[in-house]
Chains A and B, each alone.
Chain A
Amino acid sequence: MSNSRENILQRLRRGRPELPAATGEIQIDSLAWDLEQRINTFCDRMASVKAEVHMVTEGDWPTKLRELAADRQLSNLLYAPKGPLAAEIESAWTENDSCTKLITREESVDEWKQELFYQVDGAVTSVRSGIAEVGTLILWPTREEPRTFSLVPPVHFAVLKAENLHHTFADAMEVEQWRQGMPTNVVLISGPSKSADIEQTLAYGVHGPTELVVLLVR
């Protein structure tokens, strides 16, 4: 194997065509939207990919979450016990009875994979930031909030602060200084899982969530 490495690199070095590097910065106008425009574009884009967006406030989003879960008659809702949303979610649920049971697990997912795959109806996660131009959530999973929460359960509720809406993907990377250190996984999510592999007809909920519900906090 180590030979392969040397052989490939050697061939590339020997064969490298003598071409000048392409130069000349290509100027593509960046966007200058105010928050309102960013929110509007984000919502339009999200709607176009069949994601639901609800405008909520710092104070009322947990209640809204509970309502939305109840509307869907979810028997349970998964959240991360030590995640950034935990305290507020718990407070909304303890105050009132809800048909949706709040569940959480602290163990590694391997320990309760069966339950995650077959018994969890929905999950809620935080969102690091968003991209207005294309209508995208940026999730930056952590030890506290695992990757599978936004992937395996059929309904994914995502809580995004409107002030964290960037104009573009490039802005998000630049402002948040991604190159300083990437986490294990970053995932950009734009809508529920879908496929058009059969006759180019869109079908939702292929392998990931069937529904994506965004709570946009202002």
Chain B
Amino acid sequence: MQQKVEFEQRVHKALSDSQLRQNFRSTMDGLMAKRSQAFPDKERLEKLRLQGAQIRANALLKLPELLEQLEERCTANGIRVHWAETVEQANQAVLKIMQDHNATNLIKGKSMVSEEMELNHFLEQHGIEVLESDLGEFIVQLAGEPPSHIVAPAIHKSRQDIARLFQEKFPDIPYSEDVETLTRSARDILRRKFYEASIGLSGVNFAVAETGTICLVENEGNGRMCTTIPDVHIAVTGIEKVVEKLSDIPPLMELLPRSATGQHITTYFNMITSPRKEGEKDGPREVHLVLLDNGRSSIYEDPELMESLRCIRCGACMNHCPVYARIGGHAYGTTIPGPIGSVIEPQKLGLDRFGVLPTASTLCGACGEACPVRIPLPKLLNRLRFEQVRDDPPDNTMGKGSQRSIRESLVWNLWSWANTHPALYRLGCLFLTRLRGLVPKQLGVWTRVRKAPAIAPKTLHELAREMGIEDE
């Protein structure tokens, strides 16, 4: 119950903040409209989605072999591969690389896996200064907050919030609410940091097993900076991000930016296949790839739930989610918010801790409809609702069965009993219709914003009989 109380508190806070709600509403409206415009031909879109789903599904079926191939090709190309079963191991791997180079600071491009690892916090505890360089991530880092959207991390903040934040953190810079000016200030601050940085870190959008290539999608150029200027580049990725062939990339790239922001392509698509080679005049001398499992291999075991591993992190499901649009990313309390977060995170962190998330959906289906790789999100949310209340959990991983309560089971048993005994059902309905005057006018939270529904004087069963409609 604790998780539900905490979730409700976060929801209440978000819903009470009219500025926040307006920020999310207008952004999500904009992103939905842009996506729609980016796919003018709906028939083609459906074919592309099928193709995207197929590429990702087939990569997952060959996952262990593709990971081995990726490792082999990367190693041959000079990229060093590290395997991490847990967040702790992944953090240690990054720390070790930092220590091997006596590095005291790290400049980061956008990486949701590093958020999952809580890498910044970990490195700071070891005396390493970490700086986010994606503008949105830079802003939330200054504010001491996690990102609220996987593509637009600072979208919960208004330009006034950001102007005040900059003034507080950089008093030398004149106060401005102008977006260009704020952006320019961030450029100047970060340029110095890129210049000085000895180690850069990035996420990975796709890892190509065939050639051992790391692909990065971005608009700002900070990703290129992090992977080009410092002497060492560390890429961190979940093990599910691998694809089989280079030719798998163009269809996925046709889907990813269009689904995310409505762009036909991002400003930069950066494909990294090796560290700086002999005679080359720039680029990192070392490239490391950290492959993180952290619960993914458990999700993988379930033929239905594994579909969530197809995710390419475009954010379209959250952009289209009417719940997300109202409560925003922080209310979820997990690294990845929105529908895909409500599917993945409880599986990683346990239904006993985050089982409430799959219930916080109307199952309207907008997410599944928008997903570029056709993850059946409503079906998976429904499945996790089952997993958390089932009374015969096959194992106790991820908090299966943990949300089962005697009271709720009893309610459903009674409900089932009434609905499987037609005479009883009709009798119950008869009582309700005859006693309709006694039904309370206040029905808890329902009637806070709604008039209570009025029970009809006669049921349809009665009316049908009266009309002489045959029973069989």
User: Which residues of A come within 8 Å of B, CB atoms?
Assistant: 1-2, 4-5, 7-9, 11-13, 15-19, 21-22, 24, 26-29, 45, 49, 107-110, 113-114, 117, 131, 133-136, 141-143, 146-148, 151-152, 168-170, 173-174, 178-179, 181-201, 203-209
Instruction: Give A117 to B250 CA distance when docked, in angstroms.
Output: 33
Is the Cβ of B246 less than 8 Å from the Cβ of A178?
yes
**A8-B83, A179-B211 given; A193·B221 CB < 8 A:** yes
Instruction: Give A199 to B281 CA distance when docked, in angstroms.
Output: 38
Residues of the A chain whose Cβ atoms lie less than 8 Å from the Cβ of B191: 117, 207
Instruction: Give A151 to B246 CA distance when docked, in angstroms.
Output: 24
**A182-B273, A207-B133 given; A194·B83 CB < 8 A:** no
Is the Cβ of B85 less than 8 Å from the Cβ of A8?
yes
User: B220 → chain A, closest Cβ, in Å?
Assistant: 4
Interface residues on B, range: 35 or more
Select which of B247, B251, B291 is within 8 A of A174 by beta carbon: B247
Select which of A151, A170, A200 is within 8 A of B247 by beta carbon: A170
Instruction: Give A209 to B250 CA distance when docked, in angstroms.
Output: 25
User: A138 → chain B, closest Cβ, in Å?
Assistant: 9
* 7 closest residue pairs by CB, A with B: A208-B221, A15-B301, A197-B136, A17-B303, A203-B183, A193-B221, A188-B269
Is the Cβ of A16 less than 8 Å from the Cβ of B51?
no
Residues of the A chain whose Cβ atoms lie less than 8 Å from the Cβ of B61: 16, 19, 21
**A179-B210, A187-B268, A207-B225 given; A198·B135 CB < 8 A:** yes
Is the Cβ of A143 less than 8 Å from the Cβ of B281?
yes
Q: Residue among B183, B250, B270, B274 with the most chain A CB within 10 A?
A: B183
Instruction: Give A199 to B180 CA distance when docked, in angstroms.
Output: 12
**A185-B272, A195-B183 given; A11·B297 CB < 8 A:** yes
- 1/0 per residue B265-292: CB within 8 Å of A? 1111111111111011111000000010
**A169-B253, A184-B283, A197-B134 given; A17·B267 CB < 8 A:** no
Instruction: Please tell me which stretch of B150-158, B419-427, B433-441 contacts chain A, meaning at least 4 of its Cβ atoms lie within 8 angstroms of it.
Output: B150-158
Q: Which residue on B lies nearest to A10, using beta carbons?
A: B64
Instruction: Please tell me which stretch of B52-60, B346-354, B359-367, B380-388 contacts chain A, meaning at least 4 of its Cβ atoms lie within 8 angstroms of it.
Output: B52-60
Is the Cβ of B251 less than 8 Å from the Cβ of A170?
yes
Known: A179-B245, A198-B183. 18 other contacts (CB 8 A): A8-B291, A12-B64, A22-B58, A147-B228, A148-B228, A148-B229, A169-B265, A173-B247, A173-B250, A179-B211, A184-B277, A185-B272, A188-B271, A189-B268, A190-B266, A198-B139, A200-B30, A200-B152
Q: Residue among A110, A117, A198 with the most chain B CB within 10 A?
A: A198
Q: Can you identify 23 A-B contacts, CB atoms within 8 angstroms?
A: A22-B53, A28-B47, A28-B48, A110-B282, A134-B265, A136-B265, A141-B280, A146-B282, A147-B282, A151-B221, A173-B247, A173-B249, A179-B246, A185-B272, A186-B273, A188-B268, A193-B221, A195-B135, A195-B219, A198-B157, A200-B152, A206-B183, A207-B222
Instruction: Give A16 to B306 CA distance when docked, in angstroms.
Output: 10
**A4-B89, A8-B297 given; A196·B261 CB < 8 A:** yes
User: A168 → chain B, closest Cβ, in Å?
Assistant: 7
Task: State whether the Cβ of B179 lies closer than 8 Å to any Cβ in chain A.
Answer: yes
- 1/0 per residue B55-74: CB within 8 Å of A? 00110010110011001000
Q: Which residue on B lies nearest to A212, using beta carbons?
A: B267
User: B1 → chain A, closest Cβ, in Å?
Assistant: 32
Task: State whether the Cβ of B182 lies closer than 8 Å to any Cβ in chain A.
Answer: yes
Is the Cβ of B267 less than 8 Å from the Cβ of A169?
no
Instruction: Give A36 to B138 CA distance when docked, in angstroms.
Output: 43
Task: State whether the Cβ of B446 lies closer than 8 Å to any Cβ in chain A.
Answer: no
Is the Cβ of B269 less than 8 Å from the Cβ of A143?
no
Is the Cβ of A1 less than 8 Å from the Cβ of B83?
yes
Is the Cβ of A199 less than 8 Å from the Cβ of B23?
yes
Q: Which residue on A lies nearest to B287, using beta carbons?
A: A184
**B48-105 CB contacts (< 8 Å) to partner A:** 48, 50-51, 53-54, 57-58, 61, 63-64, 67-68, 71, 82-85, 89, 93
Is the Cβ of B179 less than 8 Å from the Cβ of A108?
no
Task: State whether the Cβ of B239 lies closer than 8 Å to any Cβ in chain A.
Answer: yes
Q: Which residue on A lies nearest to B258, using beta carbons?
A: A134
Question: A interface, by DSSP: helix, strand, loop or mixed?
Answer: loop
Residues of the A chain whose Cβ atoms lie less than 8 Å from the Cβ of B82: 1
Is the Cβ of A207 less than 8 Å from the Cβ of B220?
yes
Residues of the A chain whose Cβ atoms lie less than 8 Å from the Cβ of B247: 170, 173-174, 179
- 1/0 per residue B126-154: CB within 8 Å of A? 00000001111001000000000000111
Instruction: Give A56 to B178 CA distance when docked, in angstroms.
Output: 37
Instruction: Give A21 to B273 CA distance when docked, in angstroms.
Output: 28
Task: State whether the Cβ of B44 lies closer than 8 Å to any Cβ in chain A.
Answer: yes
Task: State whether the Cβ of B187 lies closer than 8 Å to any Cβ in chain A.
Answer: yes
Residues of the A chain whose Cβ atoms lie less than 8 Å from the Cβ of B271: 182, 185-188
Select which of A8, A141, A207 is within 8 A of B194 by beta carbon: A207
Residues of the B chain whose Cβ atoms lie less than 8 Å from the Cβ of A113: 195, 229
Residues of the B chain whose Cβ atoms lie less than 8 Å from the Cβ of A184: 272-277, 280, 283
Task: State whether the Cβ of B162 lies closer than 8 Å to any Cβ in chain A.
Answer: yes
**A7-B85, A196-B152 given; A185·B283 CB < 8 A:** yes
Instruction: Give A205 to B208 CA distance when docked, in angstroms.
Output: 30
Task: State whether the Cβ of B190 lies closer than 8 Å to any Cβ in chain A.
Answer: yes
- 1/0 per residue B292-322: CB within 8 Å of A? 0100011011110010000000000000000
